[in-house]
Structure 1
């Protein structure tokens, strides 16, 4: 609203330059909330608030700087030169935000595309899996002493990567993808290709998100004991890089499976077992927990199973937050 400096700047999309926030003219619609100064013990005097707006006039936010300094260290009003400098900085920030928004929009469209193709890839499912994955990672990061900066950076990219874990299913035939029954062995073999089809979408990584998304798409069906799929393959051809005595791709095992893949494996299976499908009923809560424990050290990283049960109240909250629509 226009009663605050930032709100007025956002509404009018104009620069607001105030020399003394404690002496704003009465005719102005905005005022300064002095409680922030009282809480922090810091005295605000001059402020400069600049809108972050695109070339099309769309507002993305505002940037506010306080207390311009004179050469002798005193607090002075912001000058017209300061306005030009901060406006230039704001323009660069706007471009960066636009690119981030465009990236996010494209990712959300990819997720929606997966949802349209696969009736099991509902918005609720991908949000639950992403939510579980982030909670598991947070506890794992706490256990391993990751600093806050690294933890926040990784959790944000992991959340999006987890939402894209099954994006490769867009390359699978509808005859298999939408089959209202269990797969035959031949159909199951075709379905397994969704892992490397998904990873191919990120084969030219431009950011940490691309790398983590590729890892998660490729390895979330790998098993801790090496019995999962697709194993050691060339993502672009699907051909084995490491083979067993029968010439089949060796599965990745233990720490050969990237962290994101080990986390999403638990999150995805938990949600699949807990959810109703056309070919099965949802398992009971206790049966799901028993299965997760039983698969520790076989299908799942034992530490991830420990972490999962440590944060079980959070897991339950996420499941309630994103219920499946009948």
Structure 2
């Protein structure tokens, strides 16, 4: 955590408490779940996860370099090249930090984890517009020896994380230039960022200035020391897709008025689709919620159910299930860094 820099300069966009939750680092801000107006998360409240202050980059001097032992030649692109030379595509995809709900994970085990103390808000969905990464790699001439692709950011931390060649060549792995129909904001990666569909947010490197195509597996802090599952007696395993989980669009704890109403939320299953969402009030039975879509891998699904609550204290539990039949567990197995928490949460609600 940075303490020597004025936290007001660490990110560019205004951070409004009515829309975002301060994670306490001066760099990281989560979306308030009760301030999600539609399928897409608006730019003013899309969560921010930074390892260093947001860099101020000039598109007129910025370049992107593709190089490494897995290509035949180094290729450089300017910002204008990206807009003029390549067809643009748009995809709706969700990004989630692997540390989302870390504070709740700690409460579940009665111990505080290190790292950003996220609540439920380190997740958001946007329409990303850009160039399929494979279109940018092709002019460099991929060799038969190419195995991994690693974007690298231009922030002070030089954020970087490798992915297998097959994931880099997937049609929905993009170098994004725009977000929700607007030029990419500085806090979200301007001039260009990678969007790796269905993977943890740390794979979608922001402020990209270099892409290495390697002919050997790459080991960097982001896939060996951090963003890995570490459990006692086991080797570290890099995180890729995040597990199925659900989000209730209410404050924690919530206060509701009596009377008929609709409870809404989101469910997300990483690279997989959400197949079902069930809910339970207090000690009642599990009942199915209605899914409102979209039915997309790599994007969250909206859900809802009607409720006419009696006055008093209640506990709401929501359980999502993915297309392979994997459901949220009652408890998440321990891992040393507090990643991938997806337990069914007992959401406290007071009706008064």
Question: Same-fold call, TM > 0.5?
Answer: no
Q: TM-score, normalised by structure 2?
A: 0.27
Higher-strand-fraction structure: 2
Question: With CA pairs under 8 Å and 6+ residues apart, which has the higher RCO, 1 or 2?
Answer: 2
Structure that is richer in helix per residue: 1
Q: What is the TM-score when the length of structure 1 is the normalising length?
A: 0.29
